[in-house]
Structure 1
Amino acid sequence: MRAETVIKDARIIDGTGAPWFRGAIAINRGKIEEIHRGKISQIDADTEIDAEGMAVCPGFIDTHSHSDLQLFSDPTLAPKIRQGITTEVLGQDGFSMAPLYDIETDAWETHLSGIAGRPDGEWTWESLGEYLEAIDDHGIAPNVATLVGHGTVRFNVLGFSDTAPTEDDLGQMADLVTEALEEGAFGFSTGLVYTPARYSDTGEVRELAAQLAPYGRPFVAHIRNERRQIWEALDEFVDIGAETGVPLHLSHFKLAGPDQQGKVRRAESIFEAARERGVDLTVEQYPYTAGSTTLTNVLPPWVQAEGPEQTLSYLQDDDARGKIRRDISKWRIDGWENRGAYTGWENIEVTNVASEANQSVEGKSIATIATDRNTDPVSVVCDLLVKEELEVGMLLHQLTESDVREVLTNERVNIATDGLFGGRPHPRVFGTYPKILSRYVREANILTLEEAIRKMTSLPARAMGLETKGVLRPGLDADLVVFDPATIDTNATYNSPHQFPTGIHHVMVNGSFVVRDSVVTGARPGAALTK
């Protein structure tokens, strides 16, 4: 036979969890043409890669990506493809980049800047379909799929308001979800700790999630609480799945804060009870003890209920700052969801700012900055957000390694990065998948190599409905990673996150090399996927 590319003498890990076998893979026209076991006779190929006993597996699928705007400024998405990611799922935490109809995109852009950054150029789209077209027109290295976001559709109808929707409002929101699904969204996401989705009640969330039922696509949720009220938040999430019949996918599962540490098995029993109840529930995790998000998330909800302009006004008003301080203090007592109050200011680090004037604070904790400036932590938060027009990211140290490891070994859990770009980012942006394969497979031996690969490939493909990805089979997409299990490692750390991994030699997307001999090729064979 003749092939465009053949990878020979490889340890083939097919993504299912089955044991690896020695063989070769032939690739034609972006698809896997044939998989040969054992030694092969000469295949006539334009490009031949001798893996020399290294592993080849399906490309890694990041089920929680925040590359929605980054892909326009860096279409290679080098930090992702260098760690073997070939498909990313965008539109997370209720924040999709579309639909945006007849509204001020500047306000939405400012609101999202701490998580998504800002676009490289003008927003040229309104509908989700137009957003996907813009991606394809620009060209990208990996594949991307997107969810439609709860916060986005709520913003279209109610702006940033904390008011409850009328029946007509809810109908408009439901229509926007359905329209996005018709245009190719892979599911619906919410972020119930973020404005404006945080102002919704269970009935609103249930009604919007129910739009997924005819399509069989997942409801992906950052639940209302990952701390003291996590049990109520999980119950709400599972009940929505049971009542609507839609698949559920739990974003970045964690038990945050000292009160919940060591209670992973209690949460896992909820997952298993849900599945016994008939709820199709899957879960994702990033393998780190710190999380990251936008610094605005430490603010009381009322501060953001009137939009970014009013938020900035509040942050500059002495009376409003006094109320912010009192509310944060009350959160400490009452146990409401607030990362700043519970994590402790010494455990919150600034990851990125927009201006050069404040770049010196990147990598420093809020407590340290307060000491350096001879002021209090709330003043630091308010001053930074004002100066940077809300574009400030933060890193939160809030988990234990023992809990991270226990979650990782659960068979329902797949791997994701949840990585935010810019400044001094979380090391997961550069090193999530190599960390799994080095720290937890080769060194700690808590996962087999085959099981780890399953958690990065076929399991996330199943959860997100990526039917032609995640498994090595003839006829499926030729998204592949060639790596050395003995040397693969992450080099990204909290102190030095901008470090590419070692041990990943080749990465292919749709049959084309996006990484060749550990170097980004610049090729853009990826596509904006649609359902």
Structure 2
Amino acid sequence: MNPFAEDSRTVSDIVFTDARIIDGTGAPSFRGRVSVKNGKIEEVSRNEAPDADEVVDVGGAVLAPGFIEAHSHSDFEVFEDPFLTPKLHQGITTEILGQDGLGPAPVSPGHVDEWSARMQTLSGSAESAGVFESMSTYLDAVDDARPALNLGILAGHGTIRFEVMGMAGRTATTEELDQMKELLQESLDDGCLGLSTGLIYHPQIHSDTEELLALCDVLSPTNRPFVAHIRSEGHWLFEAMYEFISVGYETDVPLHLSHFKLSGRKQHGKANLALSFLEIAREMGVDITADQYPYVAGSTSLSAVLPPWAHGDGAEETLRLLREPASRERMAADIRDFRIPFWENDAGTVGWENILICDVGSGRSDIEGMTISEIAEKRDATPLDACLDLLVEEELNVRIIIFLGREDDVETIFQSPLVCVGSDGLVSENPHPRLYGTYPKIIDEFVREKNLVSLEEAVRKMTSLPARIYGLQSKGIIREGLDADLVSFRPEWTSTESSYNNAKQLPTGIDHVIVNGEFILKDGQETGNKPGKTLRA
């Protein structure tokens, strides 16, 4: 369509005028208008506005595609808060769930209690949502909840492995691999956008490379991505990257590296070296990308600091081992001496003084906001004993913020054209600030203050790049005929006050958010509309 042609259109639902249009492709912005009709972008033009039911003059503010959250943990939060409030106010219109291999389905009725306990520190509890024996039933339930945002999901390696093998701490047999492959195929047929794994989490921590290759053989014909929290982001980072890339090379599946980072002092300053692995892989024909959140600290479950063998065959076995003196001595040696190859030894890598308790199941205010080192000093105990005692007291339900990175590495990684944005935000009473602040922080700090990339490039990283990665053909770009998922913001005012001490702060500068042609945020206020849909491949 010629953007300078005379207008002969019928009445539109909404027309946004006097907009600085950033279309999501990385191309330079231009002043113009965007017409929306029946949930689609009807026209993008520099001409005067045609007739419309509603004309919204954005006064020179940016109009961009709605932001796509490449790594989200709202799997069960959508049933508690279908507006997904922390994301809505950041301009996010689409979230990708099922991350780190920990998905909500397929879970048979007899397994739901144990799997819910495993998921609760990353994606919330399944209790309020019920049992999902297939991805199809889960996605149907999400549609029934009428979310404000669009939601797609990945099949979870850990969920599938658990359904076949429980928490068994061993490699899979041929028969078990066949069963896992069958469940994966069913999940892909149900509309999953790809396959995810989290190779530091139980039970997939016990899988070998052959298991990953077998599952990716199922994934390969679909051309959907294999998304991974790799085995190590710290001490064994480059070995873990090599394994991940080799799986993509052998099976010809697209690869996507979750929350790309360099954890611990050993790897600090090596961001360019780590990026070279991605660039070399692409030279070899491997389609590889990554996502990143703009913080030096991550967040996960405290139980992730335990050696693989300490997870036992379920929560009760883990708690038994945590109480046993001989097991504690073995854990101490494994952490201190890095005795287990490829295990992501967070405590040994970053130190107990950099592990902050942000949320415990009981909500104890005397614990939240303290580091493991501070808790140990308060209790006159070793840091390991303080950690293990806390896990026992809270029955493993403890979340942490872990200060593991360096600012210059975060900034170097962000500038790569292969890296998109994902918050990895975990919903809790005392969350990491990334849950509320990731996207405005990118605009405020990385674009306006530090000038790491242009605003057009930052928008590409938040829109068309994740859309391409996850196969969302109708999203991520402002173009006629595509979905009317839009955000209007004023980049000179967009910022976040969300911090490690006070994370639940909504951002400023984001005026309008539109999902499938309906306002969910208008003039900075929630509308109560819930036009979101599940996205099924």
Instruction: Give the aligned partner of residue 248 of structure 1.
Output: 255
Residue type of the alignment partner of 1:330: D
Mark the CA change 1:201 to 1:29 in structure 2 (over 3 Å): closer, same or farther.
same
Aligned residues: 528
C-alpha contact 1:289 1:397 (8 A) present in aligned 2: yes
Residue of 464, 481, 485 corresponding to 2:487? 481
1:339 aligns with 2:346: yes
**What are the superposed Cα offsets for residues 341-383 of structure 1, whole Å, 9 maximum, x if unpaired?**
2111110011111213x23322211111122222222222222
TM-score with structure 2 length normalisation? 0.96
Instruction: Give the aligned partner of residue 403 of structure 1.
Output: 409
1:26 aligns with 2:26: no
**What displacement does 1:296 show?**
0.5
Higher mean Cα deviation, 488-497 or 176-185? 488-497
Aligned partner of residue 182 in structure 2, secondary structure: helix
Aligned partner of residue 43 in structure 2, secondary structure: strand
Residue of 390, 394, 415 corresponding to 1:388? 394
Instruction: Give the aligned partner of residue 450 of structure 2.
Output: 444
Residue type of the alignment partner of 1:495: N
| Cα separation, 2, equivalents of 1:433 and 1:485 | 11
Aligned partner of residue 488 in structure 1, secondary structure: coil
1:367 aligns with 2:373: yes
Trace 1:42-81 onto structure 2 (pairs within 5 A). Answer: 43-81=50-88
**What displacement does 1:304 show?**
1.1
**What are the superposed Cα offsets for residues 284-342 of structure 1, whole Å, 9 maximum, x if unpaired?**
11111011111100011112131112112222334433333333223389885211121
Residue type of the alignment partner of 1:14: D
Mark the CA change 1:78 to 1:55 in structure 2 (over 3 Å): closer, same or farther.
same
Tell me, which stretches of 5 or more residues in structure 2 are unaligned?
1-9
1:503 aligns with 2:496: no
Aligned partner of residue 54 in structure 2, secondary structure: strand
Instruction: Give the aligned partner of residue 285 of structure 1.
Output: 292
Trace 1:116-195 onto structure 2 (pairs within 5 A). Answer: 116-119=123-126, 121-195=128-202
Q: CA RMSD in A?
A: 1.5
| Cα separation, 2, equivalents of 1:376 and 1:296 | 17
Percent of aligned positions that are identical:
48
Instruction: Give the aligned partner of residue 6 of structure 2.
Output: none
Instruction: Give the aligned partner of residue 120 of structure 2.
Output: 113
C-alpha contact 2:96 2:153 (8 A) present in aligned 1: yes
Instruction: Give the aligned partner of residue 22 of structure 2.
Output: 13
Residue of 28, 31, 40 corresponding to 2:48? 40
| Cα separation, 2, equivalents of 1:113 and 1:430 | 20
Residue of 236, 242, 247 corresponding to 1:229? 236
Trace 1:286-435 onto structure 2 (pairs within 5 A). Answer: 286-331=293-338, 336-356=343-363, 358-435=364-441
**What are the superposed Cα offsets for residues 17-72 of structure 1, whole Å, 9 maximum, x if unpaired?**
001111111111111111111x514x322222110000000011111001111111
Residue of 102, 107, 111 corresponding to 1:95? 102
1:259 aligns with 2:266: yes
Mark the CA change 1:522 to 1:381 in structure 2 (over 3 Å): closer, same or farther.
farther
Tell me, which stretches of 5 or more residues in structure 1 are unaligned?
none
Mark the CA change 1:346 to 1:176 in structure 2 (over 3 Å): closer, same or farther.
same
| Cα separation, 2, equivalents of 1:124 and 1:412 | 37
TM-score with structure 1 length normalisation? 0.97
Mark the CA change 1:28 to 1:213 in structure 2 (over 3 Å): closer, same or farther.
same
**What displacement does 1:174 show?**
0.5
| Cα separation, 2, equivalents of 1:239 and 1:24 | 46
Aligned partner of residue 249 in structure 1, secondary structure: strand
| Cα separation, 1, equivalents of 2:406 and 2:339 | 21
Mark the CA change 1:93 to 1:369 in structure 2 (over 3 Å): closer, same or farther.
same
Residue type of the alignment partner of 2:518: S
**What are the superposed Cα offsets for residues 103-162 of structure 1, whole Å, 9 maximum, x if unpaired?**
421111111111112135252321011000010111111111000011111001111111
Aligned partner of residue 359 in structure 1, secondary structure: coil
Residue type of the alignment partner of 2:224: R
| Cα separation, 2, equivalents of 1:334 and 1:304 | 17
Aligned partner of residue 28 in structure 2, secondary structure: coil
Residue of 524, 528, 531 corresponding to 1:522? 528
Trace 1:445-460 onto structure 2 (pairs within 5 A). Answer: 445-460=451-466
1:493 aligns with 2:502: no
Residue type of the alignment partner of 2:273: R
Residue type of the alignment partner of 1:425: P
Residue type of the alignment partner of 1:35: V
